[in-house]
Chain A
Amino acid sequence: MITTKKTGLAPSRRSVLMGAGAGLLAGAGLIRPVWAQAAPLKLGFQLHATGIGAGYGRWYQRTADAAVKLINEGGGIAGRPVELVYEDDGTDPKRGAEVVDKLVSQHGCDLVLGTLFSHVVMGSAPRAGELKVPYLVCSEGYHVASGALNRWTLQPGITDVRSQISSMAPWVAGNIGKKVTMVYPDYAFGYDHRDFFTAAIQAQGGEVLAQIAIPPTETSFTRYFPQIPPETEVIYHVMVGPGVLTFVKELGEFYGTGAKPQLFGFIDSLEAVDTATPGLEFLEGSHFWEAHPRVKPADAGEHEAAYRAAVGVDDNGASTGDAADVATYSHMFSTWETLFFIKQAIEAAGYTGPADRQKLVEAMEAISDLPYGIERPQGAKTFNGKTHQAFGVQNISKIEGGKLVKVHTTTIEEGLYPDAVDYTTMAF
């Protein structure tokens, strides 16, 4: 059987029309504000759009978009417009390394930023080091300041777990209790809490009675509660992931109306979760660490309102469009502050393109004082160029009437600890 196909010979009417349509669309895309002929700075964003970190990823994207909008309205960075290129890493370390590669080699990004989950940071940072590209993480892990990573990896937008814990322990020992049982996830993030809190509470004359590690995939928690010693005064909990609600609910069922220890938790347990959710009544009166108070405190800084408006968050910490859509407020500011840190460093370094990447990292290492302003809505910070880590204030909030109410703010000094590494002596 012989069939004749005209494909490739003469253009059909349909293909001509489609081509014309595509041309129109492409043309429309080109009509943009013209930036004095400057090529845009391309910043690659490693985004947890899917996988276990998706709840955070969504808010990281919204916050980064808002920051870039503000930066571009103010004339961009060094006169160049900024463009964010997002790539989904599936909250997976292996994919994370591929994403760094793709952002740098394929999209031609000047640097990469935005990673939250520690295991993705650990999986991606070595690749950033091989590619010799600045990699700015927003993860609060101690992995940067511990010296486990490389000269190209920095954490300028959020404090690390060790610093957070060191500044919390005195308050816990002084105000809630000294006999503590810790409940934490059974992997690196949990171990940081276990090690640093145990040491920090001992320094305050307290003690950790039991350390209960829970596998990250666990969906039922009641079976762990009998391990909590009865003389416990404080349960220190830092659970993450979708099982958190169950954890709190089952803890409530277990203790019920009887005598129960005080609770102190890290807000990581309840990021993106409404504290007034049915089943969480058990948390009433308990305390949480917050980096950036979700419910706007009465004494909030002068830039708090402008920041909330820019990222689309109301005074209760939920999306202005949907009260059920609660923000990951104590983490997302890190992308905003990291972007303004990048702006400061690029302008100081006179960075013009990928050939200046080393100069850019050196300029970042030279930054030390990061004062409060719209660039840093969470609060003033200091940056340690040797350890590549930022230090800032921490907050403690209490749940009252289903709402987080800020009760205490630490100083930056309370979160400082001796340097464990000097990255500036390492080769690029």
Chain B
Amino acid sequence: MGFGPFLLLAVMEGLVSAAVLALTAVGLSLVFGVMRVVNVAHGAFFMLGALVAWFVAGHVAGPPVWGWLAALVVAPLVVGALAALVDISVLKRLNYEPEAVIVATIGVLYILEQAALMSFGPDARPVAAPFTLRLQLPWFGYSGYKLFVVVAACAVLAGVWLLMARTRFGLLMRATQVDRNTARAFGINVDRVYAGTFALGAALAAVAAVLVVPISQVHYLMGADPLLLAFITVIIGGLGSLRGTLVAALVIGLSDGVISMFWSPTLSKIIATLLVALVLVFRPQGLFGAKA
């Protein structure tokens, strides 16, 4: 395979990993931005979304696209509702104390993972892609669905941006983000905004899972890696910054695709981690984060 096709494949792979990163990180970033909550259970919500997708897809008759569409609706609702419940029953009672919240969400992570192991089992299971399209290029073949994930990621990010910038709920979230007490003084029900934000963050993880699961599989431990990568993305981009998350996902994803193909995957992980360290030292608020 010549240099051109090799680079093309590297860029395609990089774009797909950037899309997956952006999808998983956007919910985490949103929750931290508005609530200042480090949600360690984000990966578990991602896994739960994939699990619900597998369940729903297995119970909807007809072509795979129906099951997948049903999952795209059901999974965020189920996971979002659960997250709202976690917020009201656990996080709120801890007064969103940073340390307590980290420990509590680690607890939620374990509960969800072990519950998945006990109910769903330890095996990896596939979910069929909504459509099978294989692009045959002169040098290699590529999955059409993977490219669809890139488009879908753009749509989801645009949707979140519209929600934040153009809707009343977005306005309330932004007001709460700037100053929780003043927002409350202006009559905003901060508790409800928090529950809504936490649910939205988890629902976004579930949407990401439904999109990603046809190119990987459901497995009860699948949340660990996305969580780590999502944290890296969010730290580099700046916690709470949508634009930062997008840029960081593109940088990490593309460099991962190109470096891991031309050199080695280990080197690309080393560079991503180094980037986190550099950002933390020289620009602790992230590339696009506002100063705390």
- Residue numbers of A with Cβ under 8 A of B are 50-52, 54-55, 57-58, 214-215, 217-220, 222-223, 225-226, 230, 242-246, 249-250, 253-258, 272-273, 277-279, 325-326
Contacts and interface: CB of A to CB of B under 8 A. Distances in A.
Contacts of B124: 55, 242-245, 273
Interface in B112-140: 114, 117, 121-124, 126, 128, 134, 136, 140
Contacts, number: 85
Given A50-B114, A242-B217, A254-B142, 14 more contacts: A50-B117, A50-B122, A51-B221, A55-B122, A57-B122, A58-B122, A226-B140, A226-B261, A230-B1, A253-B134, A258-B141, A272-B123, A278-B126, A278-B128
B13 A54 contact: no
A253 B261 contact: no
Nearest to B129: A279
B167 interface: no
B10 interface: yes
Contacts of A245: 124, 126, 217
A226 B122 contact: no
A153 to B, nearest CB: 26
Nearest to B266: A215
B263 to A, nearest CB: 11
Contacts of B134: 253, 256
B6 interface: yes
A4 B247 CA distance: 64
Given A246-B217, A256-B141, A272-B123, A220 B266 contact: no
Given A54-B122, A246-B216, A220 B9 contact: no
B107 interface: no
Contacts of B17: 220
A242 B213 CA distance: 12
Interface of B: 1, 6, 9-10, 13, 16-17, 114, 117, 121-124, 126, 128, 134, 136, 140-143, 215-217, 219-222, 225, 257, 260-261, 265-266
Contact of A219 (B10, B117, B140, B216): B216
Nearest to A52: B221
A242 B221 contact: yes
A240 B117 CA distance: 19
A220 B261 CA distance: 12
Contacts of A277: 126
B9 A222 contact: yes
A230 B222 CA distance: 33
A223 B261 contact: yes
B265 A218 contact: yes
Contact of B16 (A54, A220, A230, A278): A220
What 10 A-B pairs are tightest by C-beta distance, nearest first? A54-B122, A242-B124, A256-B141, A242-B219, A55-B122, A223-B261, A253-B143, A223-B13, A55-B123, A226-B1
Nearest to A217: B225
A190 to B, nearest CB: 14
B58 to A, nearest CB: 10
Contacts of B260: 223
Helix, strand, loop or mixed for chain B's interface? mixed
Contacts of B221: 51-52, 242
B140 A254 contact: yes
B123 A273 contact: yes
B260 to A, nearest CB: 6
Given A218-B265, A245-B126, A277-B126, A254 B257 contact: no
Contacts of A214: 265
15 contacts: A54-B117, A55-B121, A220-B16, A220-B215, A222-B9, A223-B13, A223-B257, A223-B261, A226-B1, A242-B217, A242-B221, A254-B141, A256-B136, A257-B136, A278-B126
Contacts of B225: 217, 219
A7 B141 CA distance: 74
Contacts of A225: 140
A226 B126 contact: no
B259 to A, nearest CB: 10
Interface centre among B6, B123, B142, B265 (most CB of A within 10 A): B123
A249 B213 CA distance: 13
A182 to B, nearest CB: 17
Nearest to B265: A215
Contacts of A326: 123
Nearest to B114: A50
A272 B123 CA distance: 7
Interface centre among B10, B136, B142, B265 (most CB of A within 10 A): B265
A217 B17 CA distance: 15
Contacts of B117: 50, 54
A214 B114 CA distance: 28
Contacts of B142: 222, 253-254
A226 B123 contact: no
Contacts of B114: 50
B10 A253 contact: no
A58 B142 CA distance: 36
Given A257-B136, A273-B124, A278-B126, A223 B141 contact: no
A148 to B, nearest CB: 25
A225 B143 CA distance: 14
Contacts of A278: 126, 128
A246 B212 CA distance: 12
A303 B134 CA distance: 46
A297 B29 CA distance: 55
Contact of B143 (A55, A58, A250, A325): A250
Contacts of A249: 126
B210 to A, nearest CB: 16
B287 to A, nearest CB: 25
A279 B261 contact: no
B1 A243 contact: no
Contacts of A215: 265-266
Nearest to B113: A50
Contacts of A55: 121-124
A358 B250 CA distance: 61
Contacts of A220: 13, 16-17, 215-216
Interface centre among B1, B6, B141, B143 (most CB of A within 10 A): B141
A327 B261 CA distance: 36
A272 B217 CA distance: 14
